[in-house]
Amino acid sequence: MISQQSLLKRTWPMVVQCAEAHRKPRWVPVAKSKIYRIPKRPEVSEEERLELLRINNNYKTQMRAIRRFFHEEMIKEKSTKDSASSEMSLRLEAQEWERCVELNEKWNAQVALEREERRKQELIKMEEYALERMEAKDKELEERIKKASEQIRKQKEIAATFITPETLDAAIEHALANPVDYNFAIDLQGNQFLGRDTPIPQKNLDKKPPSV
């Protein structure tokens, strides 16, 4: 049985976990239940401590030397490169520049050719489009004129029947002479009987309604 004291004084937590996504964030303080859990101080024997100290010191010395060596080499290389660039690279740079200019001009010529072609195509397309639109406009106008002339013709035809001040008396007389009655009645069979005072024949009332 593990005693309470040894549990409290253990060096490591009870459950060793990996630093994964479900871990408590680093800035969250110690849980209330764990405040008084004081980890036991790791016991390192004197021999081991001295040996580890010696090994670590050795390692640090070696690594410092290696780091310094490569650092100095890097600086040396850089300085040689810089000094070499003053003479050699001037010529090299000029050559490179010329080469670049040549290449650029070649590209420009090629692009200019392509652009000319594209422009021509675009111009043709634009002309076509303009013509199409003009035609469409013409057609529409024509249609409108046709419609209007048709309407004028119709109106001229109708104009003969118009009531003018001269024919007003005659029209009134005509209207008085021929009164029109739009009232009508309807029976179950759907027969219409025009006029308000039209007598309705009685024979239909005697008959039985047709059985449906």
Partner 1 sequence: MTSPVIKYVGRTTNFKGKTLWEIVGSLKNLGVGRIIVRSVFERYPEPSFMKIVKVETCPDEERRRVRVWVEKTFRGRKLPNLTEIYRTSYKPDYKLVPKNEEAKLLASVTKEHNFPDVILPRTIEMPPLMKQFIVKDHEKKGLEIMKEYVMPLSYNHSPNRVHRIANPGEKPTVQFTMGLGKPVSPSLYEGVPLN
Q: Which residues bind partner 1 (CB under 8 A)?
A: 36, 38-39, 41, 47-48, 50-51, 54-55, 58, 61-62, 64-66, 68-69, 72, 77
Please report how close the Cβ of residue 53 comes to partner 1 at its closest, in angstroms. Answer: 8
Q: CB-wise, 46 or 197, nearer to partner 1?
A: 46
Report the amino acid identity of residue 44.
Answer: V
Element housing 64 (H / E): helix 46-159
Report the nearest approach of partner 1 to the CB of residue 8 (Å). 11
Closer to partner 1 by CB, 62 or 104: give it: 62
| Residue 25 C-beta: closest distance to partner 1, Å | 22
Given the complex with partner 1, which of 47 and 206 has the nearer CB atom? 47
Nearest approach in angstroms of CB 73 to partner 1 is 9
29 membership: H or E segment, kind and range: none
Phi, psi of 150 (to 5 degrees): -60, -45
What residues are paired with 185 via a beta bridge?
193
Length of the chain (residues): 212
Pairing relationship of beta strands 192-194 and 184-186 according to DSSP bridges? antiparallel
Q: How far is the CB of 28 from partner 1 (least distance, A)?
A: 19
Closest to partner 1 by CB, 68 vs 144, is 68
CA dihedral 157, 160, 164, 168 (to 10 degrees): -130
User: CA nearest 210: which of 188, 192, 195?
Assistant: 188
* 146, two tokens: 């046709």
Q: Whole-number minimum distance, CB 69 to partner 1, in Å? A: 4
Rank residues 80 and 151 by Cβ distance to partner 1 and give the closer one.
80
To 5 degrees, how large is the angle CA 78–CA 64–CA 83?
10
Distance CA 61, CA 55 (A): 10
Nearer to partner 1 by Cβ, of 47 and 169: the residue is 47
Which letter does DSSP use for residue 39 in this model?
P
